[in-house]
Structure 1
Amino acid sequence: MSLQPQDAQLDAKKRTRFNKLQKKLRRETGRAIADFNMIGEGDKVMVCLSGGKDSYTMLEILRNLQHSAPVNFELVAVNLDQKQPGFPEHVLPEYLEREGVAYHILEKDTYSIVKEKVPEGKTTCGLCSRLRRGSLYGFAEEIGATKIALGHHRDDIIETLFLNMFYGGKMKAMPPKLRSDDNRNIVIRPLAYCREKDIIEFSAFKDFPIIPCNLCGSQENLQRQVIKDMLNRWDREQPGRIENIFAAIQNIAPSQLADTRLFDFETLEEGQQRGGDQAHRLDVINLFG
C-alpha cells in the first residue's frame, strides 16, 4: 500500500531529523576522540555494551566513524552477563550477529555478590559498578584490547561532579580519558560531549533492543536521580546552563579555588609560586581523575 501524501511528508521529516541527529552525535563524538586522543592507529577498542541506550548509541556511532576516521581501528563489543534473574541472554547476541559486530559475552555472577553484601533498601550501584569494572578490565587484557570504551555522556559527567560536591566534599567528575587504577588499561568515554536527550532520541529512532537493569533500575531515591532531576529543571528553566557547567569543567583556574595542593598559596608573598594556573594544568587533571 502506498503512503498517503501526509504520511510521506511525516516520514521525510523523521528522516531529516534522524540525519541531523546522527550527524550531530558523530561530530561531537569525533571531536571528543580528537581532543583527548582517545583512539589511535591500530587500536583494538573494547566497547562495553550493557544493553542500554548509551552503550548501543556509542557502538553505533563508533562503527559509523570507522568508515571515515583518519586511523584504522578495530571494535569488539563485550557484554558482562551479571546473572541477574530474568536477564534475556539472547537479545544482545542476536542483535550483534544481525549487525555483523564481533563480540564476547563474559559471564560473572556479580548479582549474587551485590545482593549478599548490600543491605536491603541500600543503593547497589557503587558495588555493582566496581565489580563490573574489575571483570571488564581483566577481560580487556585477555583479548588484547588497547582501549576500553564506556558509554558515559556529558550529563553523566556533570551529574558526577555535583554528586561528589554535594555528597562527597570533592570537586571531581568523570574524565573523558583515564588510566585505570591498576595502570593496565586506558579507559575512554567517546560520548563525553553528547547530551543524554540527543541519545534518547537517537535510540528511539534506531529502536535498539533495550535491556533494563533489574538490579538497580527500581531504586527510586538514588542520589544520582536527585541530581538528574535538579539538572533537568535547570535545563528547562535556564537553557544553556548545562553547557556552561560543562565548559567550566574544561576551564579551571586553581589560583581562584582553595586547594593548597594545586596552587602554592604559602609562598605567594615571596613571588616563589610555581607559575600560577598554567603550571598546574597537569595537577588539575587529577582533580577530575
Structure 2
Amino acid sequence: MNAALRKLEHEHNRLAKRLRHQVGRAIADFGMIEEGDRVMVCLSGGKDSYTMLDILLQLQKKAPVNFSITAVNLDQKQPGFPEHVLPQYLESIGVEYKILEQDTYSVVKRVVPEGKTMCSLCSRLRRGALYTYAEEQGFSKIALGHHRDDLVATFFLNLFFHAKISSMPPKLLSDDGKHVVIRPLTYVKEDDIATYAEQRAFPIIPCTLCGSQENLQRKQVKRMIDQWDRETPGRIDTIARALGDVRPSQLADPKLFDFLALGRHSAAPLPDVHGWLGSGAEVEADGRPAPIALQLA
C-alpha cells in the first residue's frame, strides 16, 4: 500500500473513531440505551440514518449492555422510489429489517396546496406509522437520525418563526407516553456525516417530496448557519453546547423561574397588571398588556 492510500485509510479510520466516540458519549450522557433494549432504527435512505445505523452496529459489538437493532423503513410510495435499494443493502450487512408500506405521498399531495410546505404533514403521517409499528412490535426505543446541525437549526426555526426557545431533545417521551425516542447523532456534525457516508458508499435515496422544495424555512435557516460557519468557524459548536447549558433565571419565562418570589420582603399580595395600568387597561387573554399602538407624527 502506497503512502497516499495509507493516509486515506488513516483519515477514514480517524473519522469513524470520532463518530463512534460522539455517538457513544451521547448514549451515555442521556441514557439512550440500556440492558435488553430493542432499538428500532428508522432508516430513510438518507446519509444521516445510514450513518446512525452503521455506527450503532459498530458500538453494539463492544457495548457494555446487550441490545438488539432492527432497521425499519417506511415506503411512502413516492413515484420513482427504488424499492430494491434498502432491502439489498440491509441483507448485505446482515441486519434485521422491516419495510413498511403506506401511501402517505398521495395524502400529502392531495391535502397540501401546491407550493405550500409539505414537511409538517408528511412528518406527522410518517411518525404515526412508525410509532404504530413500534408499539405493535414492542420496541423499547425509537432511534432517529437527527444530528447536531438539525438541533441548532430547529432552535432557530422555533426562535424566528414560532417565538419560543426550544429544539429537538436528544431523548424524549412521546406525547402519548408510549415511546422513548432517541437521537444518537446529537453530537455529530452534518459535514462529518456527509464525508462518512461518501467514504462508506451508502446507497443514498434522495427525497423527491420535501427535498425538492427550495423555499422551506429550514433551508433558509440552514443557509444562515452555513454562512456563519464559514465566516466564524466554531460558532455552531458553541451554539450546540449552549443548548445543553440553559439558565432559566437568565431568561424571562415565569413558568421556569419564580420571579414573583425573587427579592420579596412582604407577604402582601402583589398588584396585577390591572392595578399597575388601571382598570381600563386592555390586556391579552393570558393577562399580558395588549400591544400599544404608536402614532407617528
**TM-score normalised to structure 2 length:** 0.88
1:183 and 2:172 matched: no
Amino acid at match of 2:158: N
Among residues 103, 110, 117, which one is paired with 2:111 in the alignment? Answer: 117
Structure 2 counterpart of 1:128? 122
1:166 and 2:160 matched: yes
Per-residue deviation, 1:78? 0.2
Amino acid at match of 1:101: V
Q: Distance in 1 between matches of 2:191 and 2:84?
A: 28
Q: Deviating runs (4+, > 4 A) in structure 1? A: none
Task: For residues 68-115 of structure 1, give each alpha carbon's deviation from its aligned partner in whole angstroms, at most 9, with x where no partner exists.
Answer: 110010000000000001100000000000110100000011101100
RMSD of aligned residue pairs (Cα, Å) = 1.1
Structure 2 counterpart of 1:270? 264
Among residues 31, 45, 52, which one is paired with 2:39 in the alignment? Answer: 45
Structure 1 counterpart of 2:64? 70
Structure 2 counterpart of 1:17? 11
Among residues 124, 144, 154, which one is paired with 1:150 in the alignment? Answer: 144
The size of the alignment, in residue pairs, is: 266
1:244 and 2:238 matched: yes
Amino acid at match of 1:192: T
Q: Distance in 2 between matches of 1:84 and 1:234?
A: 34
Among residues 204, 220, 225, which one is paired with 2:198 in the alignment? Answer: 204
Per-residue deviation, 1:269? 2.3
Task: For residues 203-228 of structure 1, give each alpha carbon's deviation from its aligned partner in whole angstroms, at most 9, with x where no partner exists.
Answer: 00000000000111111111111111
1:90 and 2:66 matched: no
3-state DSSP of counterpart to 1:162: helix
Q: Distance in 1 between matches of 2:263 and 2:171?
A: 37
Per-residue deviation, 1:271? 6.8
Among residues 222, 227, 233, which one is paired with 1:233 in the alignment? Answer: 227
Any unmatched runs of 5+ in structure 1?
273-289
Amino acid at match of 1:180: S
3-state DSSP of counterpart to 1:217: helix
Any unmatched runs of 5+ in structure 2?
267-297
Q: Highest CA radius of gyration, 1 or 2?
A: 2
Q: Distance in 2 between matches of 1:222 and 1:105?
A: 28
Q: Distance in 2 between matches of 1:165 and 1:225?
A: 15
Per-residue deviation, 1:10? 2.2
3-state DSSP of counterpart to 2:165: coil
Task: For residues 181-203 of structure 1, give each alpha carbon's deviation from its aligned partner in whole angstroms, at most 9, with x where no partner exists.
Answer: 11100000000000000000000
3-state DSSP of counterpart to 1:88: coil
Q: Distance in 2 between matches of 1:31 and 1:95?
A: 28
Structure-2 change in CA distance of 1:271 and 1:11 (3 Å): farther
**TM-score normalised to structure 1 length:** 0.90
Per-residue deviation, 1:267? 1.7
